[in-house]
Amino acid sequence: MILGSTEIVVEIKGVRRCFREGDRARKVLENLDLQVAKGECLALIGRSGSGKSTLLNLISGIDRPTAGEVHINGVNLTALSETELTLFRRRHIGFIYQFFNLIPTLNIEENLLLPLELNQYPVREAGLRVASLLEEIALADRCTAFPDQLSGGEQQRVAIARALAHDPLLVLADEPTGNLDDNTGCSVLNLMQGLLLNAGKTLIVVTHSKQVSRFADRVLTLVDGRLEQLVYTRDE
């Protein structure tokens, strides 16, 4: 998705994360350093419990590191208050989850409008933005449907559009095709790739899927709390 870009969107410096288990400290991440460039797609893989989701939570500011710093577009998240972190996430980060996380009492249009309303977009601008996204995900005719009236693939298409609605700097995806069958997952993946490419977004995706990792610019694996470059050929 990139290459030649030198503008750094994500920079992790010496990050360590430990959790208390009784009277013991369990190390999950150890002295991580990472840079992610603007427009890059980075895939994170690793066995269950290796710390992939923990790393996403640190990058988004949902969690704080035991040591080290996380910078997004030059802003040190570890120096922000909880209120400041919430406002930063709301404006600059989009999330795509495995289980969609759509609000069941809102219809599809309302789900897409929500991040724009939270960011105080003008009503007309928000309406035009949502209408454009609904066309892009081929669900304009389902705008008044509720999440439980859609298939899994359709719900994930809405979730992708919602993540992009407020034009975030960074998109974080946690197993975005993990709850879908192979064919539907491939279709959703192609849509996600197309939308992100067109918008020039920086994406960090946690995945077990070879399909997802194949369209990434880089694939890193978490082993014993450290990041290692995964080298493979495209037709592996």
Separation between Cα atoms, residue 193 and residue 187, nearest integer Å: 10
Other residues' Cβ atoms within 10 Å of the Cβ of residue 219: 21
| Token pair of 29 as six digits | 């991440």
The pTM (predicted TM-score) of the whole model is 0.86
Q: pLDDT tens digits for 18-43? A: 887 777 777 888 889 999 999 898 98
- Average pLDDT score over residue span 145-152: 93
Q: What percent of the chain has pLDDT over 70?
A: 93
| Token pair of 24 as six digits | 């013991």
| Token pair of 179 as six digits | 């709850």
pLDDT for res 195: 80
The CA-atom distances, in angstroms, between 158 and each of 54, 117, 215, 226 are 25, 17, 21, 34
Angle at 170 between CA 206 and CA 3, to 5 degrees: 85
Task: Name 94's Cβ contacts closer than 8 Å, sequence gap at least 6.
Answer: 115, 162, 163, 164, 165, 166, 168, 170, 171, 172, 201
Separation between Cα atoms, residue 74 and residue 151, nearest integer Å: 39
Is residue 15 domain-resident? Answer: no
What domain range includes position 157? 39-64+79-229
pLDDT for res 28: 85
Q: pLDDT tens digits for 93-119? A: 999 887 888 999 999 999 999 999 999
pLDDT for res 147: 94
pLDDT for res 33: 93
Is residue 3 domain-resident? Answer: no
- Average pLDDT score over residue span 8-13: 94
pLDDT for res 230: 62
pLDDT for res 3: 43
Greater pLDDT, 170 or 183: 170
CA atoms within 13 A of residue 61's CA, in its CB half-sphere:
25
Q: Do 189 and 183 touch, CB atoms closer than 8 A?
A: no
* Look-up of token digits 């693939």: 153
Q: State yes or no: pLDDT of 232 exceeds 80.
A: no
* Look-up of token digits 């797609």: 41
Is residue 198 domain-resident? Answer: yes
SS3 label, residue 13: strand
* Calculated CA dihedral for residues 136, 142, 147, 151, nearest 10 degrees: -80
Per-position DSSP letters for 127-148, written without gaps between them: HHHHHHHHHHTT-GGGTT--GG
Comparing C-alpha atoms, which of 78, 93, 66, 81 is closest to residue 9?
93
Task: Name 76's Cβ contacts closer than 8 Å, sequence gap at least 6.
Answer: 69, 70
Is residue 21 domain-resident? Answer: no
Q: State yes or no: pLDDT of 141 exceeds 90.
A: yes
Is residue 32 domain-resident? Answer: no
Q: How many domains does the chain have?
A: 1
Q: State yes or no: pLDDT of 2 exceeds 80.
A: no
Strand 170-174 and strand 202-206: pairing? Answer: parallel
CATH number of the domain within which 123 lies: 3.40.50.300
pLDDT for res 182: 75
- Please report which confidence band the pLDDT of residue 191 belongs to, taking 50, 70 and 90 as the band edges: confident
pLDDT for res 14: 92
